[in-house]
């Protein structure tokens, strides 16, 4: 269900999420009111109001913590992507310093790999995978660097640094995969349960047009926030995803330097 929701266009996912939250919330409200309709609503209203406040505050707190948590992880993924692009840039510069003509093949493979990250890796990450073409280019790059023959102490240091940079690129690539495999926060289910329990507390109040309207707005807001939490928790799927803008700018710069 969550996968289908995130795979849909963002606007559709938001609408579906809000509709589901409203339908579930009002259904629980209606069932709860019918169950307690035979009791004295005056006697129930005061304790229910106190319970509602406690549960409402807990749900609000958990929503805030969940949203803050996924935003922090989102920022971490963005920073990792930027550092990966920086590592590719450093590798390219070190290759040129090693010897422009001697490393022309390696430079070309690195440029192709950067483009493959955009065209191959990024779509694959939406399915929790890495692109085969990008992986093959990564191996070609490693093999081409191992084929270099340093002839001076300076080239030996650069060769060692280039290998370190390539390992760094690999590390960041696997970090992207690890983040694409991340599951929504486990406490999202506790938030949903708390939300439904809050709606059940409304059952102590007789349905009236103004109250139903306000309750509906509340459920719509909860549905929106829950969708955003779920969407941001998967940084490579759906409309709310990390954009490979750093690689797009980088590949243009590298191609210009190659010319």
- Higher pLDDT: 129 or 239? It is 129
N- to C-terminal Cα distance for the chain?
49
pLDDT band of 204, cuts 50, 70, 90:
confident
CB 218 within 8 A of CB 26: no
Alpha helices of 99-208 — where are they, by DSSP H?
Answer: 104-116, 122-125, 132-146, 153-180, 188-201
On the CB side of 95, CA atoms within 13 Å amount to 30
pTM: 0.81
Helix or strand (DSSP H, E) at 34: helix 10-36
Q: Which of 107-111, 120-124, 237-241 has the lowest mean pLDDT?
A: 237-241
Cβ–Cβ < 8 Å for 150, 133:
no
What is the per-residue pLDDT for 49? 67
The structure tokens listed for 133 are 């073409």
Helix axes of 153-180 and 132-146: crossing angle, nearest 10 degrees: 160
Q: In whole angstroms, how large is the CA radius of gyration of the chain?
A: 27
């Amino acid at each position: 269900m969550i996968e289908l929701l995130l795979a849909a266009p963002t606007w559709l996912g938001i609408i579906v999420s809000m509709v589901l939250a409203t339908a579930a919330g009002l259904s629980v409200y209606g069932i709860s009111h019918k169950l307690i309709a035979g009791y004295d609503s005056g006697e129930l209203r005061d304790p229910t109001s106190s319970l509602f406040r406690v549960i409402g505050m807990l749900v609000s707190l958990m929503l805030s913590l969940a949203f803050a948590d996924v935003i922090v992880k989102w920022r971490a993924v963005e920073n990792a992507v930027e550092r990966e692009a920086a590592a590719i840039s450093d590798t390219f510069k070190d290759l040129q310093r090693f010897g422009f003509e001697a490393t022309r093949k390696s430079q070309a493979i690195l440029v192709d790999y950067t483009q493959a990250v955009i065209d191959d890796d990024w779509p694959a990450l939406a399915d929790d995978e890495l692109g085969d073409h990008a992986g093959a280019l990564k191996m070609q790059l490693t093999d081409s660097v191992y084929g270099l023959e340093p002839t001076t102490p300076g080239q030996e240091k650069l060769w060692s640094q280039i290998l370190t940079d390539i390992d760094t690129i690999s590390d960041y690539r696997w970090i992207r995969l690890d983040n694409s495999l991340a599951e929504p926060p486990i406490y999202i289910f506790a938030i949903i349960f708390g939300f439904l329990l809050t709606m059940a507390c409304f059952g102590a109040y007789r349905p009236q047009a103004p109250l139903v309207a306000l309750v509906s707005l509340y459920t719509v807001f909860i549905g929106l926030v829950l969708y955003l939490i779920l969407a941001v928790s998967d940084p490579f799927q759906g409309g709310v995803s990390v954009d490979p803008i750093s690689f797009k700018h980088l590949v243009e710069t590298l191609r210009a330097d190659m010319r």
